[in-house]
Structure 1
Amino acid sequence: MKKLLIIFSFTVMQCMYGQDTVSIKKSPEEVSSGKNPLDVGELKINLNAKGDKWLKFGISSQIWLRSIDNNPGTLVNGVPQEQTYDASIRRMRLIIQSQVTPFYSVFLQMGINNQSFISGGGTGTGNNGAGKKAPFFFHDAYNEFAIIPRNDFQTGKPNKNNLYLGAGLHSWNGVSRLTNASTTKMLAGDIPVFNFPMIEIADQFSRQLGIFVHGELDRINYRFSVNKPFATSLKPAIGGAAVDNNQSGKLSYAGYAFYQFFNKETTVTSFLPGNNLATKKILNLGAGFYTNKEATQSQPSENVFESHDVNIVGADVYTELPVGDKSKEMGLTLYSVFYNYNYGPNYLRISGLLNPGTPNADFMGQKALEGAGNNRVLMGTGNIWFSQMGFVLPKFSKILKVQPFFNYALKDMKALNQSGSYYDIGANFYLYGQNARIVAQYSSRPLYDLTSKTIFDRKGEFLLSFQIVL
């Protein structure tokens, strides 16, 4: 922990006092537009003089350093450990977006996720070193058609309403703003993951295959989709909880819409930011859903199987408010969402991000329901209320902005006998706008007793995240 804090302090000092060592140039057009001249411009190639045919590239990288308090009875690489230090690639992405004509475009996102010293590897794992050669795969791959474009093709003037139709592997999700979250403009060190109701179960990293529509009706921003979920076929235990089994092959349906009271947001891609450093006044109220018939299965008695529908709804509010003197560039960001999940009787999902641990069969102490490493109760049939807040401190540097933040989640799962509180507290250190960010964050999670299903302990995790977005 001390080593991580020393590294972090040194990096921030370099950013504060090494201001004359970095120079980012902008075009005259970008400077005159009123944008922050320290922000890095787009990686964009215009394919015609008018600029309505183009090819755009995006690159992002998130590197994590962590100190993890492991759950009781944890082995790391076969050795019992109460605390683990690790380094990892949380995300590394390449985006290619093309508007071939004013009428249609192509969106591709590729990359890797969750590679650490022990996990996330493809080939090259085993005795020669675990975790090596993480798989590189497509996250998004879809085509999109402009039915009613944002701007009139002839005059170039904005349309009051717009409508787009697309198909492919996509993340135009339902339920909530956070279910459509941008991973490059997050408020905290990461998104809470339970915001993706089928993550890595019936979807591929929060994406499903299907068709979607999105657009605006004046101040209402909307998205709806019909998808074919990825196949699941888990077999339930006799008298046990529902498990993921969608062998009947039903389609899923999802939607989300929000009303924009003040400044409107442009949704060229599916990803909604959770943090714009409160540069504009925003207040949005939203609601959404996800439904998939016969998506889970239970076995009440031997060889008697029951299928259950998955139904998830969410309602949320998002606001960004500039505060005080404009020259100080202060601002408040608030987000709150309520989820109701129904996956079937006593459904419970447990997971840990980049979990380094495995269970120790010889451990004789009190075991956690969550298992080993940094596993936690992620979600299940029940309710979750999640809120976060951030505040940009008064401007004191041309290079650096500081934004403390706080997250809180209250999980009330039907399979457990006690509600659990989860929280994160930390600060963002932004360099040159939102193109470079360092995050320092401490997280606390409860642990449930394996038998009583009540909380008996808490564990923590310290994170340093280094993020670059171009």
Structure 2
Amino acid sequence: MRNVRYPLALSALLLAAAASAQVQPPPAGNQPSPPPAPQAPAPASAAPTESVPYGAGLKLPLSPDGSKYLRFITWHQVWTRFNQNNTGSQHTSGDPQRNTFDVGLRRSRLILYAQLNPRFLILTHIGINNQNAVGGGVGIGDPGKKPQLFVHEAIVEYKVINQLSVGAGLHYQNGISRMTRASTLNFLAFDAPITNWPTIEKTDQFARYMGIYAKGRIGKLDYAVAVNDPFVTSPTATPATVPTNVAEYYPRNHSKNFQGYFAYEFLDQEANLLPYAVGSYLGTKRVFNIGAGFLFNKNAMFSRPGALPPPPTGQPGADPYSYVPFKTHNLGIWSADVFFDTPLNKEAGTAFTAYAVYYNFDFGPNYVRNIGILNPSSAGGSTAIPGAGTLRGNAFPTVGTGSALYAQAGYLLPKNVLGPKARLQPYAAWLHGDYDGLETIGAKKVNVLDLGANLLLDGHNAKLTLNYRARPDYSNPQNINYRPEITLQTMIFL
């Protein structure tokens, strides 16, 4: 036992000496102190595995509890596109161009809205649309430059009761269909078919009307109705300028426009403070809605039923309205649609979105309108469809007296397909138009196919969309050729 005690005592003395040495003061004199030991680097923070939800976005609270606020929304949609142009298209007059590769601004917008208390809403929406190198601007002699920044919406609204709000101004509380009220921030496909805005830039201002509206929700029934002043359109048209038995917008129309949309929400209810209908919820809601809507404008259209008579003898400048027989026609449209959006596997993050709509259009006899969005051609093109406008660039018969079907569906792939920070959502869309004016000249019905995918980098707030379109070229209505369009849309909104 004594043999053990001696080593233990010696060890204790050595430890005490070492501890004492560690707390001794530094040696006297001018000798420098030893440098401090380098600090260990701070542990790196773990990178987030998913994007943080955007939430309310750019929202400025004006009261401590946030009930008074000002919200900002801004976005740009840029198209980089290859387009095989319709027969006879020209980049500028006298400059034929079969194919076009271009970049354009599809939309560039800013929305500001505020609630100073839950009963009052003010909203301002400004922006530009469809600017490329050959069009969309108002520069003197340069049609693509300096696009006009204009007011899309300017409304004031008051909540009367929980089930009813009334508003007035330049508004988007549109009738006809869900997609006529579509938000352009969260489309499923790369864009709308435009058939959903059948009076765009005619009696409306870029799908908005000047009028008064009422909106609200009663139980599961969401509704919006409006009475509007249609904008004066086609001011130079007269009974002498329209083709025989083909309707056109009546420049002397001063009747009110009535429209409305009603949707029954079977599952989750959607927000309805603003009119913008969501295109795809990306699995965050279970929505199943059936809707119906209408638009009616008395005497909005006119046509000349017979051949053009000569002007009265001795009156070469006589007003055609005084000597050319013509008829006025009511503009009537109705629709029915269904929207379904649901998560499929919450753990995997998969979701399914589908929408389908039927439109019935009555614009008067044989009315057809060709539209080419962000048109890459500024001249040329066929005028084979009477009264429909030119078929330059990427234009095709988009609306007309008759009917149209539009359907789209998309699937949000599992989270692990592209890693934790990006999602992929392939989709398909189809437009079918059956218009009387095409049947009259022996043309086939309209069919447009879109196939594409959304690469969601931060949900809808930052995404790339690649779309392939097979578009009919009606330059020869009896022999339809399909032209390809390939569009890459880059979009960010805050």
Which interval holds the TM-score relative to the shorter structure? 0.7 to 0.9
Q: Would the aligned equivalents of 2:391 and 2:474 in 1 still touch at CA under 8 Å?
A: no
Counterpart in 1 of 2:155? 142
Counterpart in 2 of 1:468? 492
In 1: Cα distance, 2:96 partner to 2:55 partner = 46
Counterpart in 1 of 2:429? 407
In 2: Cα distance, 1:23 partner to 1:300 partner = 71
Equivalent residue letter for 1:268: L
Q: Would the aligned equivalents of 1:72 and 1:367 in 2 still touch at CA under 8 Å?
A: no
Counterpart in 1 of 2:113? 97
Counterpart in 2 of 1:43? 58
Report the structure number with the largest CA radius of gyration.
2
Give deviations 1:154-196, integer Å, cap 9, x for gaps. Answer: xxxxxxxx21100000010001000000000101111111101
In 2: Cα distance, 1:219 partner to 1:395 partner = 33
Counterpart in 1 of 2:26? none
Q: Would the aligned equivalents of 2:340 and 2:353 in 1 still touch at CA under 8 Å?
A: yes
- Alignment TM-score, normalising by the size of structure 1: 0.85
Q: Would the aligned equivalents of 1:110 and 1:140 in 2 still touch at CA under 8 Å?
A: yes
- Alignment TM-score, normalising by the size of structure 2: 0.81
Counterpart in 1 of 2:30? none
Give deviations 1:227-246, integer Å, cap 9, x for gaps. Answer: 00101233242524000115
Counterpart in 2 of 1:257? 262
Instruction: Specify whether residues 340 and 367 from structure 1 end up closer, same or farther in structure 2 by C-alpha distance, changes over 3 A only.
Output: closer
Offset, 1:322: 1.2
In 1: Cα distance, 2:434 partner to 2:188 partner = 24
Q: Would the aligned equivalents of 2:86 and 2:475 in 1 still touch at CA under 8 Å?
A: no
Unaligned runs of 5+ in 2: 1-43, 309-323
Indicate the RMSD between aligned Cα atoms, in angstroms.
2.1
In 1: Cα distance, 2:401 partner to 2:189 partner = 26
Give deviations 1:86-130, integer Å, cap 9, x for gaps. Answer: 10111111111011233211000011111111111122543xxx4
Offset, 1:327: 1.4
Name whichever structure is richer in strand by fraction. 1
In 2: Cα distance, 1:213 partner to 1:190 partner = 28
Equivalent residue letter for 1:446: P
Offset, 1:449: 5.0
* Partner SS for 1:199: coil
* Partner SS for 1:179: helix
Equivalent residue letter for 1:335: Y
**1:307 aligned to which of 325, 328, 349:** 328
Q: Would the aligned equivalents of 1:189 and 1:439 in 2 still touch at CA under 8 Å?
A: yes
Instruction: Specify whether residues 42 and 382 from structure 1 end up closer, same or farther in structure 2 by C-alpha distance, changes over 3 A only.
Output: same
Give deviations 1:324-345, integer Å, cap 9, x for gaps. Answer: 3x11110110000000000000
Out of 278-287 and 173-182, give the one that drifted further. 278-287
In 2: Cα distance, 1:267 partner to 1:40 partner = 17
Give deviations 1:349-375, integer Å, cap 9, x for gaps. Answer: 1110111224448xxxx9864522111
Equivalent residue letter for 1:47: L
**1:119 aligned to which of 132, 135, 138:** 135
In 1: Cα distance, 2:253 partner to 2:434 partner = 30
Matches within 5 A, 1:9-408: 37-39=52-54, 41-78=56-93, 79-126=95-142, 130-149=143-162, 162-232=163-233, 233=235, 234-236=237-239, 237=242, 239-301=244-306, 302=308, 303-324=324-345, 326-360=346-380, 369=385, 371-396=391-416, 397-408=419-430
Counterpart in 1 of 2:478? 454
Instruction: Specify whether residues 359 and 121 from structure 1 end up closer, same or farther in structure 2 by C-alpha distance, changes over 3 A only.
Output: closer
Counterpart in 1 of 2:320? none
In 1: Cα distance, 2:243 partner to 2:101 partner = 40
Percent sequence identity over aligned pairs: 35
Instruction: Specify whether residues 355 and 23 from structure 1 end up closer, same or farther in structure 2 by C-alpha distance, changes over 3 A only.
Output: farther
Equivalent residue letter for 1:405: Y
Equivalent residue letter for 1:117: A
Give deviations 1:268-303, integer Å, cap 9, x for gaps. Answer: 111101111132211000000000000000011341
Counterpart in 2 of 1:421? 447
In 2: Cα distance, 1:274 partner to 1:189 partner = 11
In 2: Cα distance, 1:415 partner to 1:74 partner = 23
* Partner SS for 2:159: strand
In 2: Cα distance, 1:115 partner to 1:340 partner = 31
